[in-house]
Each structure stands twice: as structure tokens, then as C-alpha cells.
Chain A
Amino acid sequence: MVTEADAEAGAHQPLVARASVIICLGAGGVGKTTTSAALAIAGANAGRRTVVLTVDPARRLADALGIAGSTDTRSSRGLGGAGWGNEPRQISGPWEGELWAAMLDPSAAFDALITEHAATPEQAEKVLANRLYKNLTSTLSGTNEYMAAERLRALHLDDRFDLVIVDTPPSQHAIDLLDSPGRLSRFVDHRLYKSILAPKRGVMRALNAATQIVVRMVSRLVGTALLDDVVDFFAAFEGMDEGFRSRAEEVDELLQSSACAYVLISAAKETAIAESTWTAGRLADRDRPIDTLIVNRLTPNFGAGLKTASREASASALDQNLAAFQGLRESERDLIAQLVTSIDHATGQKPQVVEVDEESTPVADIAALRRMSQLFS
């Protein structure tokens, strides 16, 4: 039983000191990757052995973290971090704990998963060479998210780390990560695949009429060449589905467990707030509470509460300007208050809120990241 005093003590402990997995969710353009990096620095500062799994960092951020390597990460956008795969690298710094960073390479992670689950090296080779398989990471929605979740699990089980922070891929919906294990199991478990394989097993009778229509339909729609790829893929994959599915279940359990703290990252703009409200609702559907809401790039407070002249043209330029920024900050805080209320309604729980003021230049070097990390300590 959690007493009020315990709850209070817990609340006083910063997220990076108490969580073992932090999952950062948020729409594109809200500063998710930067925030994950700053959270990781806060974790290292709190004495944790922290690893951050970043997805597609902008060049300058990758440089700041020392994970850019010699490859141009910008040109590898969407292809995963070409160059050095998923292996974490340690970043030295003045922290009490440790800081490691890894860049998600979904294709390499998928390849590793296939190799792990294949019965023989030949089977792995066959799957890896299949054209449909090569398309999977770029076309099956949820695959990149699943690979992020799969890497999350591996890092969580890795004795070198006691805090894993995950930046999520730029999905259409922030929530795709949580749905990805189910989606992938459904794909490999698909009835269509069983029916396609059935004739090869000589159980033609099992192929019911409805499924035959589906197979014919697919072939009519996309042409037989593409359908052959599907058949080859599932034939090569045969026998691996069991291991694949039970792994997906483990990943799913981890995502649903209390080991994972969900952080929602937003910007204080109408569109971002709307997206965040939607995401909060979907998290609530899955009974996952939002631990912390981080709102990035708030207009700085230049002295809110000060009575200034209006924005009218008669006012001095200095006061017009001050009033404009004050008004903007107020409207941003109104939106944040609306979001907090809707999270409270959806989950029955108010999240902790961290507001990050905009800096006049983008947060892109390690000093700026360290300044930002202090907000999470």
C-alpha cells in the first residue's frame, strides 16, 4: 500500500532518479530527440548508468552527443543511423553516473532479430535476401516502432544500464510504439500466409474458398510478381513465427509494465497540443498513465505579472514588444492548462509538468543540453 507520505516522497524524487525505462512520446517537431538527450544527461547526473536510444537525431545534436561518427546522419534520415548500427557508445562527461547513446538502425535490428530466430544460417540468409523482407522496415507501418521497442527491451535487460531512455520514431501517431508488437505478430501470424503455404504442404483442401478469393484478389491487384515475393517470404519465414510471436509478447508486456514511465512531449502550439491531447487519450485507453508532461519552447518569461503598456501603436516600441511576448506566453500557458485538464480527465491523474523556455538559439550543443537537463533533475 502506498501511503500519502510515500507518494509524496516519490513525487519529490525526479523521474530520472526513480524510473528504469522512460519512453518519450510526442508529435514531430516538438523537440523529442533533444529532450530525450537532456533527460539522459539528467539521469547520468543523478548517478544512473543511463543509455539513450535516439532515433534520427539532427546532425548538430548527433555531434553534441558524439554519436554522429563519420557518416552524415542527415542524409541517412529514414534509413536509420547508417554507419554503426545499434551498439551504444559511452559519452564521457562530468556526470556522477554514466551516459551512453545509441542510434536506432531499424533494418540492422530486424536483421539481428531474424538471425536470432532462424533455425539455420541458411534460413536467415533466405529471409534476409527476400524482396518483401527488404521492404518491411520502410513499408510495414509499425516496424520501426517495433524495432525501437525491441532495442528498448535489449537495453533494459543489459546489465550495463539501469536507466533506458527511448526517443520514439517520427510516427504518424505517437502511440504507434505501443501498438507495434501486436501489429507485427498479426502480420507474421496472418491467415493469408497460412493459406498461401497450404498447397505446398499438400493440404489443398484446407484452403477454403473465401481465402482463395483473397489470394486471387491480391494477385489481380498487384500482379503476380509481387505476390510471388509474399509467398517466398512466408515460405522462408516458416517455423520462425513462434519465436517471433513470443518475443513480441515479451516486448508488449514490458511496454505495459510499471517499469516503463511514459513522458509526453509537446510544444505550446494549437496543433501540437491537439496531437498531445489525442495521444493522452490513447494512453489512457491502454491504462498507461502519463508520468510527466514536458512542454518545450515556451516563450520566455520576461516579467509576467508586470503591468505594461498595451500593444497599441501609441505605446513605446519596448512596451509593444514586451506586451506581445507576455500575451504569447499567456496564450501558450492557457493551452498547456487545457492539455493538463484533458490528461487529468482521461487518465484520472494530473501529470507532473515541466515547462522548458525557448532559448534564443536552438539547443544543439552539450552545454545547452546540460542547461536543459537541470530542469529534469
Chain B
Amino acid sequence: MSATDFLRTSRILIVAGKGGVGKTTVGATIGVAAARSGLNTLLVELEGHSTLGRAFGFDELPYEDVDLFAPSDGGPGHLRGRRITPDEALIDYLSGHGLDRITGRLARTGTIDVVATAAPGIRDLLTLGKIRQIEATEDVDLIVVDAPAAGHAVTFLRSAAGLSEAGADGPVKEQADLVSAMLSDDARCQVILVTLPEETPITEVIETAYSLEDDVGIALGPIVVNGLIPTIPGLEAELRDLGTSRSKINRARREAATYRLGREQSQATEVERLDIELPLPRIELPHLFRAGLDEASVHELTDALLPQLHDLGGGHV
């Protein structure tokens, strides 16, 4: 078993989770883990100004892909990144259907809004269509997609089915069928849900998971619990030994230790609830005790991720 077995289970990993849980960081971490495992990996950001690029020194990733990272071992793996926006995907699509001369005008005059409203989910569908096109035409081992924030993730992934139900026909229907086939094939695509070990994020990730399974029929990979506060051996005993000393420093030590132990306990309760209500394999990533996100943080998280991917191995969960 190796981490590569897991990373080769399906070619597209869609990373989803509610705002603030570190979904983007986890996407970047999986990307780096794949590159370090020798895979030719593409990281895709969808939101207009997501922060995926920031860990690699970009303010915003461009529409054409750029190099983000290559391991120094000279191995075959590397990580590239790019952005896909619904408007650009739509314009791409129109151009591909012989309408390139008027697409600029369509965008400027807001006709695209009318089209998008007439055909609900068309922006999402075309974004997924663009991912499918990359999957079909480009020589990459793994595509990691930083999906829209939670509530929208389900709508996003349901767009193809929704359009078919709404009675779309013609090229949009064809596109919807191709995307549906991609999403429902677990050899091609699975979703990695990210959450924090806190009450609301855990409740929401459980809801999102069931709704993805029931309404979208997409395969769920392991759940990533991000930001777990690691245990410091001996902290509890030292806190006990501290007694009731009232010096300023001892008060700070006591409060900080009590706070940490309280957080550890509540996160344990939440992880346990997750285990019971959503019995899926779990990946745990540690809290790094720094607020910023840089490439070093991503590598630190990758170090924590790789052995866990190794244990998961290949095949579906």
C-alpha cells in the first residue's frame, strides 16, 4: 500500500466544505501530497478570488495553468494550478459552438444572466464541463478541484441532473449527460469533505454528505477533519500539580492549559459524533498554531497527510 494507491483511486478529487474550515488549504495539501508522490497533478480553483494561489505566492491563479510546486527529488511529480470561472467557461463553451463572434457582447450586455436564469445551473454545468474536458484531453494523473463553499457545493454538483429535469435539450443536454456520467463514476470522481472539529461544521458536513449521496449520487472519499488541536503529553498532570498558585505567570499557564484541555475535549466529542453519524474513513490534520498560510504550512500538513493516505490505500471507501 502506498499513498499513490489512494491518489489513483479516481482522477478527480473535489474538495468541498463550508467557509472557514480550511477547504482551500486542504486542497493545496492534497495537491502537494500527490506531487510529492510522483503524480502529475493539477489544482483547480473555481471561485473568483479564492486564496488557493496564496500559499504558492500568487494573488490569484490565472485561467491558463501555472507551475506551483515540484519536489526537489527530481522525480516525475509536479503540481500546476489554474482557475476556472463560470463566465469564462461559458464564453469558452459558446466559442466552441461557433458563437465566438458575439460572446463578448453577450457578456457585456448581461444576456448571459438571462441565459443562465433560463437554464438554472448552466454556469455550474459549464464549469464542470470544463473540468471534464481537462480530464478527457490533458495528460494529468490527478485533478484536485477546490469546490464552491458548502451550501453551494450540492447545487453545483446537482446542476447537470437539474438541467436535464428542467427539460434542457440540444447541446446543453449533451453536456449535462457527459457531466452526470463523470460524477456518478467513482473511478473518475469523488468528493473529499472538509470540516472542523466543532459543532456547527460537523452538523453541516453530515448534512452535506447525505445530501451529496442522495441527491447527487457522487462517491464520497474520506472526511478530512482539519485543525485538530494535538495533545501535549503531560499537560493535564502538570496542570494538576500547579495547584492554586496565584502568580501572574501561573495564572496564565493555568488558563491556557484549561482552555486547551477544554477545546480538546469538545473536539473529541464532535469527532465521536461524526464517527457515529457518518461512518466514513477519516483523515485528521493538525492545528498548526499559526494564522497565516504559506508553502511551509502546506508542507507541514502534507507530512501529516501522507502516512494517513498510505493507510487508506486504494479502492473505494
Contact = CB atoms under 8 A, between A and B. Distances in A.
B115 interface: yes
Q: Find the residue from A60, A193, A222 having the highest chain B CB count within 10 A.
A: A222
Contacts of B167: 223, 225-226
Nearest to B263: A360
Contact of A360 (B21, B97, B114, B262): B262
Given A28-B20, A192-B114, A334-B291, A225 B169 contact: yes
A220 B170 contact: yes
A140 interface: yes
B66 interface: no
A328 B113 CA distance: 44
B118 interface: yes
- Looking at chain B's contact residues, the main secondary structure is helix
A12 to B, nearest CB: 31
B168 A226 contact: yes
Nearest to A320: B232
A183 B113 contact: yes
Contact of A317 (B48, B152, B233, B290): B233
A318 B266 contact: no
Contacts of A136: 117
Contact of A226 (B19, B119, B263): B119
A274 interface: yes
B165 to A, nearest CB: 12
B243 interface: no
A4 to B, nearest CB: 36
B228 interface: no
Interface residues of A, number: 77
Contacts of B170: 220-223
Contacts of A30: 19-20
A317 B232 CA distance: 6
B113 A140 contact: yes
Contact of B257 (A58, A138, A321, A332): A321
A360 B229 CA distance: 13
A115 interface: no
Contact of B113 (A132, A172, A187, A332): A187
Contacts of B94: 217, 221
B103 to A, nearest CB: 10
B166 interface: yes
Contacts of B203: 58-59, 74
Contacts of A170: 19, 149, 151
B104 interface: no
B172 A222 contact: yes
18 contacts: A58-B200, A132-B117, A138-B155, A173-B49, A187-B110, A190-B109, A190-B110, A192-B111, A193-B114, A220-B170, A221-B115, A230-B117, A269-B293, A308-B252, A308-B253, A318-B253, A322-B257, A362-B200
Given A132-B118, A271-B51, 8 more contacts: A28-B19, A29-B18, A78-B151, A172-B152, A192-B114, A226-B166, A269-B291, A269-B293
